[in-house]
Amino acid sequence: MKVLVTDPIADAGVDRLGEAGFDVVTAYDAEGERLQGLVRDANALVVRSGTQVDAALLDAAPELVIVGRAGIGVDNIDIDAATDRGVVVANAPEGNVRAAAEHTVAMAFAAARSIPQAHIRLTDGEWAKGEFLGTELNGKTLGIVGLGRVGQEVAKKLGNVGMDLVAYDPYISASRADQLGAELADLETVLDRADFCTVHTPLTPETENLIGEAELDRLAGGYLVNCARGGIVDEPALAAAVADGTLKGAALDVFADEPLDPDSPLLDVEDVVVTPHLGASTEAAQENVATSIADQVVAAIEEEPVVNALNAPSVDRSAFPRIRPYIDLAETAGRIAVGLFDGRIDDIEVEYAGDIAEEEVDLVTASALRGVFRPLQSRVNTVNAMQIAEERGIDVTESKTSQSDVFQSRVSVIVSDGEEDVRVCGTLFAGDDPRIVQIDGYRVDAIPHGHMLVARNHDQPGVIGLIGTVLGDHDINIAGMFNGRGTIGGEALTVYSLDSEVPTDVVDELEADDRIIKVQYLHLNDEG
Ligand SMILES: NC(=O)c1ccc[n+]([C@@H]2O[C@H](COP(=O)([O-])OP(=O)(O)OC[C@H]3O[C@@H](n4cnc5c(N)ncnc54)[C@H](O)[C@@H]3O)[C@@H](O)[C@H]2O)c1
Ligand SMILES: O=C(O)[C@H](O)COP(=O)(O)O
């Protein structure tokens, strides 16, 4: 068995792989055809952020069982391509959290006190004492964008320095933020209030350029710290904002293109502090992540559970054929429930009724959670979904009843913020044909696939006609619809299956009619 290691990892990880009997090949500078040649007979590939693991590389590696990322960020790995090819992708999400948080704190202080700039002046022989008047962090407000593992650690550390904490993270519960002493707010409010803003999200289509010119304007007079991923902050806009004095300074450990181009405009701005992606570069962190990933490589090759697998469902083989269709159904129900829910999720309940209640359903529940958490880039799978709920302070309950009204089996996913909830209930027709049969108590019959529009309206004549006309005017074809209502003249809910997407202005146009209460559009094929 061969393990190819293409980015430098700690010796402890290499040793552990060797002790397990693997032939460990290290090739830290390999790229292009040489890399493709080396990976051809590899059973495992171990990388950090320096290796792009794309579909072409995976195609060149027919023996590959696992890609192990000795660290957190997996934006350099095409996980979908790996999944398509049956390759497990695993990371080491905990081992370098403290190192990344400490580096963030160091960078905030470095920017606030111009430490690198003063250092350079002094080593150049200049005692520039009068030129550096810094900013104290104590008593200032820290805005945290992304309150996950690193963000939470930074919150603890800088909270202890005496900073007020305000955070933006749509996927974290209010109770977890409370425990950290952080107030949750929308991004605009965080930027308006922050003296220092620190970014700790993954790089996803949603977070790419999340902090652009307009956002930097809101942070006017403050400092921006990014030790998460390049590409989340618009670099030319940041360079301009610091250069023209909109911001007092910035500190960056990560860049859209690494290594950073020596001609980058960021390097011309005096008050931008930079480090070459050093957040995880401590002895302890490197040892942690290298040994963690080595253990997971060994587990994957030995067909044992891979604890931080990002794409591998764990499954009891004998029960799998029976529960397999419910795994997909539950994920879809979770995806629809979260798509229809406007609040901050505090509780998720997965309810099983009928035959399915007789089965061991942990995997199905995890799949429902995967559907709910799917907007997260930190890939959620059935292995880590429950853990993610715990980390976010979200209560998960599973309930079972042998009664299932007209259906042989039903799976319902209920997401709630403690006051409001959304309940989506699905079943399988003929054993494997998934249907959504109830939304918030309204009986419907929807094939959960593609473009879906859910309209809540007053049950009055002409509403369905109106919706059909507006969709038709915008060339949106209705493939199917089901109208459910409580009482005549009360409220009704209609689900439309559509052949194409519904732009926001069409939703707005529909909602402008007094008879329509709310319209929500979901794209169920959307990975985001
Ligand atoms: N500089 C380094 O060397 C270094 C070291 C470790 C981690 N990192 C990076 O730090 C980042 C955070 O890592 P982590 O371990 O805390 O990840 P995490 O998954 O634990 O946390 C990320 C948080 O971002 C939130 N989030 C996702 N999309 C969001 C959005 N659109 N808006 C606001 N919040 C959003 C998630 O809900 C989650 O709470 C990652 O990008 C990781 O790669 C960098
Ligand atoms: O995501 C991470 O773990 C960090 O960014 C560290 O990346 P590195 O292993 O390439 O230093």
Same domain, residue pair 330 and 473: yes
Same domain, residue pair 135 and 265: yes
Report whether residue 290 contacts ligand 2, using a CB cutoff of 6 Å.
Answer: no
* Per-residue tokens: 394: 């979200």
Look at residue 135 and tell me if it is in a domain. yes
Look at residue 164 and tell me if it is in a domain. yes
Distance 373 CA to ligand 1 centre (A): 14
Name the domain count of the chain.
Answer: 3
The residue whose C-alpha atom lies closest to atom 1 belonging to ligand 2 is 73
Look at residue 268 and tell me if it is in a domain. yes
pLDDT per position as a tens digit, 137-175 = 999 999 999 999 999 999 999 999 999 999 999 999 999
Place of tokens 């697998």: 309
> Which ligand 1 atom is the nearest neighbour of the CA of 202?
41
Task: Find the mean pLDDT for residues 32-54.
Answer: 97
Task: Find the mean pLDDT for residues 355-382.
Answer: 81
- Confidence band of 455 (pLDDT split at 50, 70, 90): very high
- Confidence band of 273 (pLDDT split at 50, 70, 90): very high
Report whether residue 288 contacts ligand 2, using a CB cutoff of 6 Å.
Answer: no
Which alpha helices (DSSP H) does 230-319 contain, by range?
A: 235-243, 283-301
CATH (domain of 63):
3.40.50.720
Same domain, residue pair 294 and 338: no
Same domain, residue pair 344 and 297: no
Ligand lying nearest the CA atom of residue 373: 1
Across all residues in the chain, what is the average pLDDT? 93
Q: 46 has which bridge partners?
A: 5, 68
Look at residue 189 and tell me if it is in a domain. yes
> Which ligand 2 atom is the nearest neighbour of the CA of 50?
10
Residue 523 appears among annotated catalytic residues: no
Report whether residue 151 contacts ligand 1, using a CB cutoff of 6 Å.
Answer: yes
* Residue 528 pLDDT: 35
Look at residue 279 and tell me if it is in a domain. no
- Confidence band of 320 (pLDDT split at 50, 70, 90): low
Report whether residue 394 contacts ligand 1, using a CB cutoff of 6 Å.
Answer: no
Whether residue 68 has pLDDT greater than 80: yes
> Which ligand 1 atom is the nearest neighbour of the CA of 206?
31
> Which ligand 1 atom is the nearest neighbour of the CA of 203?
41
Whether residue 305 has pLDDT greater than 70: no
Same domain, residue pair 81 and 107: no
CA 495 to chain CA centroid, Å, is 28
Contact predicate 117/139, CB 8 Å: no
Q: Given 266, 301, 336, which residue is the final one in a domain?
A: 301
Report whether residue 6 contacts ligand 2, using a CB cutoff of 6 Å.
Answer: no
> Peptide bond preceding 8: is omega within 30 degrees of 0, i.e. cis?
no
Same domain, residue pair 13 and 34: yes
- Which residues, at least 6 apart from 428, have a Cβ–Cβ distance to it below 8 Å? 325, 326, 329, 408, 409, 434, 435
Look at residue 313 and tell me if it is in a domain. no
Distance 227 CA to ligand 2 centre (A): 10
Whether residue 110 has pLDDT greater than 70: yes
* Residue 527 pLDDT: 42
- Report the predicted TM-score, pTM, of the whole model to 2 decimal places: 0.72
Same domain, residue pair 149 and 44: no
* Per-residue tokens: 116: 């690198």
Residue 48 appears among annotated catalytic residues: no
Which residue in 102, 183, 258, 391 is the catalytic one? 258
Same domain, residue pair 110 and 185: yes
* Residue 525 pLDDT: 67
Same domain, residue pair 168 and 296: no
| Of 78-82, 319-323, 354-358, 377-381, minimum mean pLDDT range | 377-381
* Residue 319 pLDDT: 67
pLDDT per position as a tens digit, 258-271 = 999 999 999 999 99
Same domain, residue pair 79 and 142: no
Look at residue 167 and tell me if it is in a domain. yes
Domain that holds residue 231: 97-274
Residue 229 appears among annotated catalytic residues: yes
Look at residue 236 and tell me if it is in a domain. yes
Report whether residue 277 contacts ligand 2, using a CB cutoff of 6 Å.
Answer: yes
> Which ligand 1 atom is the nearest neighbour of the CA of 278?
3
Which residue in 16, 218, 229, 335 is the catalytic one? 229
- The C-alpha atoms of residue 289 and residue 162 are separated, in whole angstroms, by 31
Q: Which amino acid is at 219?
A: L
Whether residue 479 has pLDDT greater than 50: yes
The residue whose C-alpha atom lies closest to atom 5 belonging to ligand 2 is 73
Buried b (16+ CB within 10 A) or exposed e, 384-393: bbbebbebbb
Pairing state between β 249-252 and 223-226:
parallel
Q: 249 has which bridge partners?
A: 223
Same domain, residue pair 64 and 212: no
Same domain, residue pair 349 and 468: yes
Strands (E) in 355-408, as ranges, are 395-401
CATH (domain of 336):
3.30.1330.90
